[in-house]
């Protein structure tokens, strides 16, 4: 008796409430059996919300489940699917970036089946993927205990297969592009989970945009909002055609409550970098008054208090701008020798001693200057070296061995603060970057910043002895975190480029900055369904050692237009007419010229119409 009392004293209030909840539902089946598998009170309440939506069978509810890493979202979804099967749902679909991401979901589906006394081969069987890339992940569960029921995995861009769906479960929705998540929603019950921080995806874009849109679309706006202790928010309306229920898991499972290891990991890898959602208080400066600054990465990663706060701001911009980040990206940002980091700031008040608001951040990678010997050797063996994405791609596509010898900068990422988007700040940053690399912003400092300046030498590789003998110590003579472009000599380049997933909006943006497309991949990305596109912008290079004639880029763009037109009826047939016309349009010109240079002959007209 004493032992039981001591055990009860050690239990937290939430654990006691969880035990009471399980006891009260023990005679209510199948809910009691499934809730008994919940590990935390939040998880049990989430499962009850799932069961409530399932039991209504109106197919007009969307349940969103958000939480930090290690809170049991996937487990709750798996138990929710088991409940849907127990309630007789026949057509259940699950989706995630890849089937491998659903391992935990299916694990708890089968745990729920075990508690419901379902037996494999007698009541259900499994179908594993035959695709070697998916490592035999489960893609289908056939249930035939009472009647035919199916749990089927679909790819995120296969929304057309959801015509007969009764329940759709989206795991890690934040790792799926927002337009695809919108296309998946329909007239059926939807369970959707998302990580609000961490590297599973960019949860901020989902929580800020999609859930807000769903809340507003709940029949013209929210009516009644109920908030429970477990973070459960139920948004309904007076007339009610669709219901949105928002759930949040707070209690950790992977870590202990307030575990310092979790806090250390979040700080180290910038997992909890969130932007201030409040609108700008000081107004929006005109783009022409904003200046681009070079960010010294040694100072940025010096663990100084101000530098650390600035780094969190930069990572928060990446997360809020739909970029999926990983620890490898953070490591690349910190010490990759060919990467450079710039940010756009408004007018800075020298009397104030606070961190400026970052309007836009640009990460670039220097590419090119590859020797012809390396190009010949790589093409001969059919395998290119890592890095230099644009030079190797164009060298292979155009079979031009001279392009790789040119120097350029590929814009890896450009992220604008959500409160300042579509105001011209991104275009301003790109224009200043082009002026800088063209040599139009001379270095006027007596003590120029030379950090990051290097030139590539063929065959100059770091040896293991250098790494073993390197003396790692803290530096006390760090340069300023931010430097104006006139305080650092620029790398002189022949071109600026970008590689991205082709969409109408992004194509317009880069065309506005006078970039021209030179390559579109014929196969689409499996996750996003977008075709990779490479665009270039020629820079002034008359005073460079390896100067190229003016108009050199026209050769590549003309060849691209011919190839693009020939593929519009085949690999690119899914492109909209507006996207195709934009890709063919030259920057600064109009497709429909009001004054044609010559009248169109009948043969030319027939070719255009009947081709």
- Exposed (0-12), middle (13-18) or buried (19+): which is 12, by Cβ within 10 Å? exposed
Average pLDDT over residues 175-202: 81
Q: pLDDT band at residue 610, thresholds of 50, 70 and 90?
A: low
Express each pLDDT in 124-162 by its tens digit.
Answer: 999 999 888 888 899 999 999 989 999 999 999 889 999
Q: Is the pLDDT of residue 240 over 60?
A: no
Predicted pLDDT at 325: 75
Please give the torsion angle defined by the CA atoms of residues 110, 114, 115 and 119, in that order, rounded to the nearest 10 degrees: 130
Express each pLDDT in 436-488 by its tens digit.
Answer: 999 888 887 767 766 655 444 444 444 444 555 656 666 667 888 999 999 99
Express each pLDDT in 420-431 by its tens digit.
Answer: 889 999 999 999
Reported CATH class of domain 40-219+240-249: alpha beta
Q: At 524, list the tokens.
A: 């689409």
Exposure string for 298-331, b = 16+ CB within 10 A, e = fewer: ebbebeeeebeebbbbbbbbbbbbbbbbeeebbe
Sheet of 124-128: strands edge to edge?
124-128, 138-143, 149-153, 91-95, 167-170, 189-195, 61-67, 243-249, 233-236, 224-227
Q: Is the pLDDT of residue 607 over 90?
A: no
Predicted pLDDT at 462: 44
Q: At 78, list the tokens.
A: 């798996």
Please state, rounded to an integer, the average pLDDT across all residues of the chain.
83
Predicted pLDDT at 229: 39
Taking CA atoms, 23 is separated from 31, 50, 115, 116, 201, in Å, by 12, 19, 16, 17, 37
Domain formed by 264-364+414-451+479-491, architecture:
3-Layer(aba) Sandwich (3.40)
Express each pLDDT in 321-364 by its tens digit.
Answer: 766 777 888 888 998 899 999 999 998 877 777 777 899 999 99
Q: Is the pLDDT of residue 180 over 90?
A: no
Q: Is the pLDDT of residue 235 over 80?
A: no
Percent of the chain with pLDDT over 90: 48
Please give the torsion angle defined by the CA atoms of residues 179, 185, 186 and 189, in that order, rounded to the nearest 10 degrees: 180
Predicted pLDDT at 225: 37
Peptide bond preceding 328 in cis form (omega within 30 of 0): no
Please give the torsion angle defined by the CA atoms of residues 182, 187, 191 and 196, in that order, rounded to the nearest 10 degrees: 20
Predicted pLDDT at 329: 85
Predicted pLDDT at 520: 96
Average pLDDT over residues 368-378: 86
Place of tokens 């190009």: 375
Termini Cα distance of the chain: 89
Predicted pLDDT at 460: 43
Q: pLDDT band at residue 188, thresholds of 50, 70 and 90?
A: very high
Domain borders along the chain are 40-219+240-249, 264-364+414-451+479-491
Average pLDDT over residues 289-300: 94
Predicted pLDDT at 459: 42
CB 186 within 8 A of CB 168: yes
Predicted pLDDT at 239: 37
Q: HEC profile for 545-558?
A: CCCCCCCHHHHHHH
Predicted pLDDT at 473: 63
Predicted pLDDT at 282: 62
Average pLDDT over residues 399-411: 91
Low-confidence winner among 490-499, 513-522, 548-557 (lowest mean pLDDT): 548-557
Beta bridge partners of 128: 138
Q: Which residues contact 521 (CB under 8 A, 6 or more apart)?
A: 531, 532, 533
Q: At 603, list the tokens.
A: 């043969």
CB 526 within 8 A of CB 542: no
Average pLDDT over residues 287-295: 95
CB 514 within 8 A of CB 587: yes
Q: pLDDT band at residue 221, thresholds of 50, 70 and 90?
A: very low
CA pair distance 425, 343, nearest whole angstrom: 10
**Strand positions, DSSP E, 353-512:** 358-368, 407-416, 482-484, 495-501
* Closest alpha carbon to 417 in 315, 327, 505: 315
């Amino acid at each position: 008796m004493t032992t039981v009392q001591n055990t009860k004293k050690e239990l937290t209030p939430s654990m006691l409430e969880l035990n009471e909840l399980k006891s009260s539902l023990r005679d209510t089946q199948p809910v009691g059996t499934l809730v008994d598998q919940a590990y935390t009170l939040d998880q049990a309440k989430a499962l009850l919300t799932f069961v409530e939506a399932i039991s209504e069978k109106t197919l007009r509810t969307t349940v969103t489940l958000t939480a930090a890493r290690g809170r049991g979202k996937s487990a709750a979804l798996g138990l929710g699917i088991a409940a849907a099967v127990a309630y007789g749902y026949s057509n259940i679909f699950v989706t995630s970036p890849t089937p491998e991401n659903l391992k935990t979901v299916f694990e708890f589906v089968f745990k729920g089946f075990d508690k419901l006394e379902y037996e494999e081969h007698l009541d259900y069987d499994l179908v594993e993927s035959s695709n070697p890339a998916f490592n035999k992940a489960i893609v289908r569960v056939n249930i035939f205990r009472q009647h035919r029921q199916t749990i089927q995995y679909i790819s995120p861009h296969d929304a057309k297969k959801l015509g007969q769906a009764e329940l759709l479960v989206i795991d890690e929705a934040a790792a799926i592009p927002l337009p695809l998540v919108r296309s998946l929603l329909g007239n059926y019950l939807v369970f959707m989970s998302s990580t609000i921080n961490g590297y599973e995806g960019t949860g901020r874009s989902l929580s800020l945009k999609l859930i807000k849109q769903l809340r507003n679309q709940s029949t013209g706006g929210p009516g009644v909002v109920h908030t429970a202790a477990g973070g459960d928010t139920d948004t309904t309306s007076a007339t009610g055609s669709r219901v949105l229920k928002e759930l949040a898991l707070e209690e950790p499972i992977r870590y202990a409550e307030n575990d310092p290891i979790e806090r250390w990991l979040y700080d180290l890898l910038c997992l909890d970098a969130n932007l201030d959602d409040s609108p700008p208080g000081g107004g929006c400066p005109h783009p022409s008054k904003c200046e681009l600054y070079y960010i010294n990465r040694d100072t940025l990663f010096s663990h100084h208090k101000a530098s650390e706060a600035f780094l969190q701001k930069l990572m928060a911009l990446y997360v809020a701008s739909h970029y999926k980040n990983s620890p490898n990206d953070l490591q690349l940002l910190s010490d990759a020798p060919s990467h450079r980091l710039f940010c756009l700031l408004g007018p800075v008040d020298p009397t104030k001693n606070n961190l400026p608001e970052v309007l836009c951040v640009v990460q670039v990678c220097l590419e090119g200057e590859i020797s012809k010997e390396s190009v010949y050797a790589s093409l001969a063996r059919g395998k290119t070296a890592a890095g230099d994405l644009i030079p190797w791609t164009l060298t292979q596509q155009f079979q031009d061995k001279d392009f790789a010898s040119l120097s350029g900068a590929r814009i890896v990422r450009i992220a604008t603060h959500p409160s300042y988007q579509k105001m011209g700040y991104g275009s301003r940053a790109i224009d200043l970057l082009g002026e800088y690399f063209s040599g139009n912003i001379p270095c006027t400092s007596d003590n120029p910043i030379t950090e990051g300046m290097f030139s590539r030498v063929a065959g100059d590789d770091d040896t293991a002895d250098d790494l073993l003998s390197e003396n790692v110590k803290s530096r006390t003579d760090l340069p300023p975190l931010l430097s104006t472009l006139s305080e650092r000599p620029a790398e002189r380049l022949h071109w600026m480029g970008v590689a991205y997933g082709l969409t109408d909006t992004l194509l317009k943006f880069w065309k506005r900055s006078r970039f021209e497309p030179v390559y579109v991949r014929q196969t689409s990305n499996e996750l996003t369904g977008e075709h990779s596109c490479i665009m270039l912008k020629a820079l002034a290079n008359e005073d460079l050692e390896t100067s190229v004639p003016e108009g050199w880029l026209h050769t590549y763009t003309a060849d691209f237009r011919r190839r693009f037109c020939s593929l519009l009826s085949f690999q690119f047939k899914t492109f909209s007419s507006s996207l195709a016309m934009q890709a063919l349009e030259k920057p600064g010109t109009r497709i429909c010229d009001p004054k044609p240079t010559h009248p169109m002959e009948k043969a030319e007209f027939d070719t255009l119409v009947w081709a």
